[in-house]
Amino acid sequence: MPELPEVETVRTGLSQLIIGKVIARVAHDWDKSFPNAKTDVNKFVIGAQVIEIRRRAKVLLIDLSSNYTLVIHLKMTGQLVYVQGSTLYSKGERFGAGHPNDSLVGDLPDKSTRVTIEFSDGSQLFFNDQRKFGWVKLVESHNVQSLKFMMTVGPEPLDADFTQIAFRKRLLRRPNTNIKAVLLDQTVIAGIGNIYADESLWGAKINPTTLVKDLSVQKINTLYAEVRYVLNLAIEKGGSSDRNYVNAEGKKGSYLSFARVFRREGQPCPRCSTIIIKTRVAGRGTHTCPKCQKP
């Protein structure tokens, strides 16, 4: 999915597109994608205005003037794509076939569209999700912070007050667990997923199976810098698009063309030219340089 940089890219994009708009109609075709749609949408969504769009970890929060918030998790294949006016575009027509930013989405809605939000000016926001793991939930705004997820999620790695020391303290909550699993654990640090875990571990020359307690302070400090570097770079590049991810305008992100190890198995390590290998760590496909990241 969408990890922190992808969700952040969607957030900034959507903020420019839908803030101030009034919701006129909502439709969904898969109950699990919008579990409490039936009971509350008519009362608290229709007629409400979009006030603000926030992000916490990989979750997007769309605050409405009704004092309700749409809480959205894109999971593996979710997209939030805004379309102005008529949706009648074809893939080629919309961004130009072969264009580096050419779209992964064609006419909308399509077979992956789970929820459609239509605004009073006729524009539409589509929540597409091929694998149906993602969801939209309607929550009273003042209750958002007491959601279990919000109570247990770790700190934002890019926050100004998230220091080296804070990073080390968080990791050391799980001393006997391998560093890759800990980076992926949302209750330790928010927003890191499989792509950016592999990328930062390569940057810090750390083998993903290393137990946290076996990492030197020096290594942890380097990892801290790498995590922030990689996440910031990915935001700058509009995120990573492997197959599904697109931003709020339906365009791909370009980080993967800058990736050093992720999805580069069989290719030379950019640092030492050793062939990058793919293994399994913490139940996830894991990319490493066997020379730079010796166990």
Q: Which residues does the annotation mark as catalytic?
A: 2-3, 58, 284
Does residue 241 belong to the site contacting DNA (CB under 7 A)?
A: yes
Q: Confirm or reject binding of residue 9 to DNA (CB under 7 A).
A: no
CB of 59 to DNA, least distance (A): 8
Does residue 243 belong to the site contacting DNA (CB under 7 A)?
yes
Query: φ, ψ for residue 59 (rounded to 5)?
Result: -105, 135
- Indicate which single residue of 22, 76, 150, 277 sits in contact with DNA (rule: CB under 7 A): 76
Query: Hunting for tokens 């708009």 — which residue is that?
Result: 21
Nearer to DNA, 87 or 254 (CB): 254
Residue with smaller CB distance to DNA, 30 or 89: 30
Stretch that binds DNA, among 92-100, 162-170, 227-235, 237-245 (CB under 7 A): 237-245
Residue with smaller CB distance to DNA, 174 or 219:
174
Shortest distance in whole angstroms from residue 245 CB to DNA: 3
Q: How far is the CB of 285 from DNA (least distance, A)?
A: 2
Touching DNA, residues 165-204 (CB under 7 A): 174-178, 181, 184, 186, 193-195
Annotate each residue in 125-144 with x if it binds DNA (CB under 7 A) or - if it does not, as one string.
Answer: -----xxxx-----------
Q: Which is nearer to DNA, 149 or 229 (CB)?
A: 149
3 touches DNA (CB under 7 A): yes
Q: Considering the rule CB under 7 A, would residue 58 count as an interface residue with DNA?
A: yes
Q: Is 106 in the site for DNA (CB under 7 A)?
A: no
Q: Which is nearer to DNA, 99 or 173 (CB)?
A: 173
Q: Which amino acid is at 265?
A: E
Which H, E and C letters describe the chain, residue by residue? CCCHHHHHHHHHHHHHHHCCCEEEEEEECCHHHCCCHHHHHHHHCCCCEEEEEEEECCEEEEEECCCEEEEEECCCCEEEEEECCCCCCCHHHHHCCCCCCCCCCCCCCCCCEEEEEEECCCCEEEEEECCCCCEEEEEEHHHHHHCHHHHHCCCCCCCCCCCHHHHHHHHCCCCCCEHHHHHHCCCCCCCCCHHHHHHHHHHCCCCCCCEHHHCCHHHHHHHHHHHHHHHHHHHHCCCECCCCCCCCCCCCCEHHHHCCCCCCCCCECCCCCCECEEEEECCEEEEECCCCCCC
CA distances from residue 94 to 51, 90, 109, 240, 287 in whole angstroms, order as listed:
29, 6, 15, 21, 35
Nearer to DNA, 101 or 186 (CB): 186
Is residue 277 within the footprint of DNA (CB under 7 A)? no
Residues that bind DNA (CB under 7 A): 1-3, 6, 32, 57-58, 73, 75-77, 111-112, 130-133, 149, 174-178, 181, 184, 186, 193-195, 211, 239-245, 278, 282-285
